[in-house]
Amino acid sequence: MSQSVRARAKISALGTYVPPRLLTNEDLEKMVDTNHDWIMDRTGIRERHIADKGVATSDLSVQAAKKALSERGLKPADLEAILVATVTPDMLFPSTACLVQHKLGAKGAWGFDLSAACSAFVYALQVGAQFIATGAHKRVMVIGADVMSSIIDYTDRATCVIFGDGAGAVILEPAEDDSVGMIDFIHEVDGSGGCSLYMPGGGSLHPATHETVDKKMHYVHQDGQAVFKFAVRKQAEICEKILQRNGLKGSDIDAFIPHQANRRIITATADRLGLKPESVIINIDCYGNTTAGTVPLAMDTARQEGRLKKGDLVLLASVGAGFTVGATLLRWAY
Ligand code: UT7
């Protein structure tokens, strides 16, 4: 990290939330031409959580945020900034961060949304960490949340089996010393991949019209194989890069917590990096791909399974629409 850094940021609390309603593979078999075995074999997903109508990304975010605050014994007003990583904001504006700030009662906090699809949480985590590192803030909340069901075409079997809804929130604070907290990050963008995973309608290029609705332009469009190939290659490459420049081997990692897009992408990365099998955190079977929610949800799974302890060396990784790519190295702080 650069010489100007005054404090290393650490994650001091984590809270997650998924809506209670389940959408299982068996449910999907009744909706589209698919089957449980194909979904399990090709993606590793068994079920996903889906928000009820009227429940938005800010609602999931607030639930996750409250859990993180209570874990740390803080009040909403103790937060100085709230960053919401999402591709499904409640609306184009105001930002979901503003809605969360109000619903939470985080008087005095400012904030904004960050758009980087599946990499948005790891990007936002670093943005928040920089506010801590520069000394600008002492308590920043970073939320990764998506209601993917709001932009999925449930007649398209190529996409509807993959995604789910969920949220996770972390609190960032200055670390007391360098034994815990953020160590390093690498982020990349390859905009040439924009056409492989996108939602064409609803922005300034194609504002909502009857035609955009008829053409299903307000749904996720994905070239699954193109994304898969890129993700398998890039996730491993960026992880190798961050390990190498920190003088580490894959086997040094205690917890590998990647974006959960496809079990095969995760295991391919783990094999290539030579990770210890017990270090690889996978919960895609229970949640599907919750976009910005996956990494904090997987952190929580690791914690609940007793696989995340103070001082553990953690590698976060993601590849998402854009294409966006990210890797973060940190030591778990509590
Ligand atoms: O988080 C954002 C990043 N997103 C990703 O990382 C997604 C990356 N891509 C993937 O995970 C995979 O490409 C998918 C899971 C989306 C698809 O798996 P695949 O092994 O690449 O399948 P495919 O698209 O090559 O399709 C294989 C076959 C096709 O049939 P034919 O042409 O061989 O007869 C598809 O029509 O599987 C068929 N298929 C399905 N069959 C049953 C596609 N979707 C389904 C389905 N159920 N849901």
pLDDT above 90 (res 32): yes
Walk me through the domains of the chain, giving residue ranges and CATH numbers: 3-174 (3.40.47.10), 181-331 (3.40.47.10)
Residues 241-295 have pLDDT tens digits of: 999 999 999 999 999 999 999 999 999 999 999 999 999 999 999 999 999 999 9
- Give the pLDDT of residue 294: 98
Determine the atom of ligand 1 nearest the C-alpha atom of 227.
Answer: 8
The pLDDT, as a whole number, for residue 3 is 46
pTM (global) more than 0.95:
yes
Pocket of ligand 1, beta carbon within 6 A: 34, 38, 42-43, 118, 157-158, 161-162, 197, 224-225, 227-228, 231, 261-262, 265, 289, 320
pLDDT 10s digits, 85-138: 999 999 999 999 999 999 999 999 999 999 999 999 999 999 999 999 999 999
- Expressed in angstroms, the distance from the first to the final Cα of the chain is 22
The residue annotated as part of the active site, out of 49, 259, 283, 286, is 259
In angstroms, what is the span from residue 320 Cα to ligand 1's centroid?
A: 16
- What average pLDDT does the structure give for the chain? 97
Distance CA 103, CA 97 (A): 10
Q: Verify whether residue 102 is a known catalytic residue.
A: no
Check whether 4 has a pLDDT greater than 90: no
Mean pLDDT of 306-333: 98
How many other CB atoms are there within 10 angstroms of residue 139's CB atom?
Answer: 21
Catalytic residue among 25, 49, 98, 118: 118
Alpha carbon distance 162, 168 (integer Å) = 19
List, in order, residues 6 or more apart from 326 with CB less than 8 Å away. Answer: 116, 119, 122, 123, 126, 185, 186, 187, 188, 238, 316, 317, 318
Q: Give the pLDDT score at 2.
A: 46
Average pLDDT over residues 213-237: 98
**Mutation to probe ligand 1, out of 33, 228, 290, 318 (largest number of atoms < 8 A from CB):** 228
Tell me, what DSSP letter sits at residue 201?
A: S
Q: Which residues contact 1 (CB under 8 A, 6 or more apart)?
A: 8, 133, 182, 183, 184
CA dist., res. 90 & res. 101, Å (int): 13
Residue 43 CA: which ligand 1 atom is closest?
15
| Tokens at 65, concatenated | 């945020």
What is the pLDDT averaged over residues 312-325?
98
Helices 224-245 + 263-273 axis angle, to 10: 30
For residue 81, what is the enclosing H or E element?
strand 81-85
Q: Is 60 exceeded by the pLDDT of residue 238?
A: yes
pLDDT tens for each residue of 55-94: 999 999 999 999 999 999 999 999 999 999 999 999 999 9
Which of the two residues, 7 and 129, has the higher pLDDT score? 129
Beta pairing class for 165-174 and 9-17: antiparallel
